[in-house]
Chain A
């Protein structure tokens, strides 16, 4: 290795024996990045930042939290009232969880729009879906910890999903609970797993980055970089752009934490859990609502559960459902329309998941659910065959140089 590239002799000595500095230098300095990335490429670094904030605030919260049905609620109230800065730390943990999901949803839709899941980035995409699943499990278990009414009934409803499995369903649920209802054994194991899973996520994030660096970032026009004229080094160009995104993110997060800390939560979770009484209207955290709407749209228990998990599972095979060789929606006029329809459909499902399961809401949920699956299973495969795409530029540099006025 070219150890001479570091001027500091200590760095050089270490790097010769443990090439961490070469690795860092490779990722930040040498790593060639397409020069046309827009702000939609900021959400990866923001997701990473969110994970770090969650781990740091979580470890601190765990120092004052008690995982026991008789003390959990009070220990969280104590964090809010008596522990120094406890309110701040808990509100950061709560709100960053929501922001984490906003960021990841935007990150996913970016990938959908620019075809980032297509060859050769299929595994990169699949690892992303794995992270998404782990995040959902982590957030679900975290929401149970304060042991409020929504914690308890959310845990009851979600664990009961597994009772839909034929034959072994009931045993699986008893296994998950460690008893015959959601109770103390459930709370303690959820705490243990809630502590563990963020670190699993961190591990998968490393794999996600390794897969990313194999072929580099996709870009807004979705064609491969053809040489030095198409790329710039990550540092300082994208480090500075990421910092702009981070500043915006932290500003919005601070506004939420300091002025609207409970806006994305549910007031019923400030009522201690009562296993004898279900709240009149139970809803999961907002980031689960689209999936909850799919669950409720189906009048059959097993069918609802299968469709709900299917909605995520379908993302795993997306690279093979969309066979169009063109990545970016910029050159796919018909796909672009359907992309935005899917976006609206996802928002609609989110809205419907929060409404009571009756009357017009049920009908609309069914339409929106059908559309979701239709998009992935029928429309995308057909577009790959029938859509006539616009001509692709020869390279990333070409359109930028040729159409000076428009591209800026």
Chain B
């Protein structure tokens, strides 16, 4: 670049080197200006990211002993619904009947549960964030008897895996551990 400039400008009385050096100063000034502007813009943009109190992960403790077989409850974690379902042997069998590797978001049922009878998933459709139906008795549960999202028609199976519809991934399994046999802590 410096070369082409010094060629295009006719050498002045103060010597051939002058324009090239000045070009460098101009470019350096622009660069410093850009760095400065970016440094000032960053706090203004980053303030939109989650604040410290929002980040201080709230965790939720749940007593799962009251959930009878075939029943599901919804609890709140980080402002989102979490589905906890005590699955029937039939539901577990159906989740294992299919080869997980063949699914849209390949995953085996075993990888999604800590105890086969207790399925814990975030109740947020991975398409555009609606809460799928299937928690209450009498809800539509979709073609695979898990959950059905009414917003744009995503069907999840009894392991919360996406089987049909626009959602790209399985219902997310949140981090949780068993504090005792009956109590789990999510988060």
Residues of chain A having any CB pair with chain B under 8 Å:
153, 156-157, 159-161, 163, 174-181, 183, 185, 189, 275-278, 280-282, 296, 298-302, 304, 357-358
Contact = CB atoms under 8 A, between A and B. Distances in A.
Contact of A179 (B54, B131, B166): B54
Contacts of B165: 299
29 contacts: A153-B130, A156-B129, A157-B129, A159-B129, A161-B128, A174-B49, A174-B50, A175-B49, A178-B48, A178-B49, A178-B50, A179-B50, A179-B54, A180-B50, A180-B80, A181-B78, A181-B79, A185-B54, A275-B76, A275-B79, A276-B81, A276-B131, A278-B150, A280-B150, A281-B150, A299-B165, A299-B166, A301-B166, A304-B166
Contacts of B152: 296, 357
B151 A278 contact: yes
B167 interface: yes
Contacts of B151: 153, 157, 278, 282, 357
Contacts of B51: 178, 185
B104 to A, nearest CB: 10
A358 to B, nearest CB: 6
B80 A275 contact: yes
Interface residues of B, number: 25
Contacts of A159: 129
B49 A276 contact: no
B48 A160 contact: no
Given A179-B50, A183-B79, A185-B51, A277 B153 contact: no
A160 B128 contact: yes
A180 B78 contact: yes
A157 B128 contact: yes
Give the 5 A-B residue pairs with the shortest CB-CB distance, closest first: A160-B128, A160-B129, A181-B79, A278-B130, A157-B128
Given A278-B150, A357-B153, A156 B130 contact: yes
B54 A178 contact: yes
B106 to A, nearest CB: 17
A234 to B, nearest CB: 42
B168 interface: yes
Given A185-B51, A277-B131, A357-B152, A180 B79 contact: yes
A156 B152 CA distance: 14
Interface in B1-53: 48-51
A175 to B, nearest CB: 5
Contacts of A177: 50
Contacts of B131: 276-278
A275 B50 CA distance: 18
Contacts of B150: 278, 280-282
Contact of B74 (A176, A276, A301): A276
A298 B79 CA distance: 30
Contacts of A181: 78-80, 124
Given A296-B152, A301-B167, A179 B79 contact: yes
B94 interface: no
A12 to B, nearest CB: 44
Nearest to B79: A181
A358 B155 CA distance: 13
A56 B54 CA distance: 35
A174 B78 CA distance: 12
Nearest to A176: B48
A174 to B, nearest CB: 6
A281 B153 CA distance: 11
A157 B127 CA distance: 9
Identify the interface centre among B129, B165, B167, B168: most chain A CB within 10 Å of its CB: B129
Nearest to A303: B166
B43 to A, nearest CB: 14
A132 B151 CA distance: 26
A357 to B, nearest CB: 5
Contacts of A153: 130, 151
A185 B51 CA distance: 9
Interface in B160-178: 165-168
Interface in B70-106: 74, 76, 78-81
A163 B167 CA distance: 11
A299 B131 CA distance: 19
A159 B78 CA distance: 17
Identify the interface centre among B76, B130, B168: most chain A CB within 10 Å of its CB: B130
A189 B166 contact: no
Contacts of A300: 166, 168
Nearest to A183: B79
Nearest to B78: A180
A160 B49 CA distance: 16
Contacts of A180: 50, 54, 78-80
A363 to B, nearest CB: 13
A174 B51 CA distance: 11
Contacts of B49: 174-175, 178
B175 to A, nearest CB: 13
A301 B130 contact: no
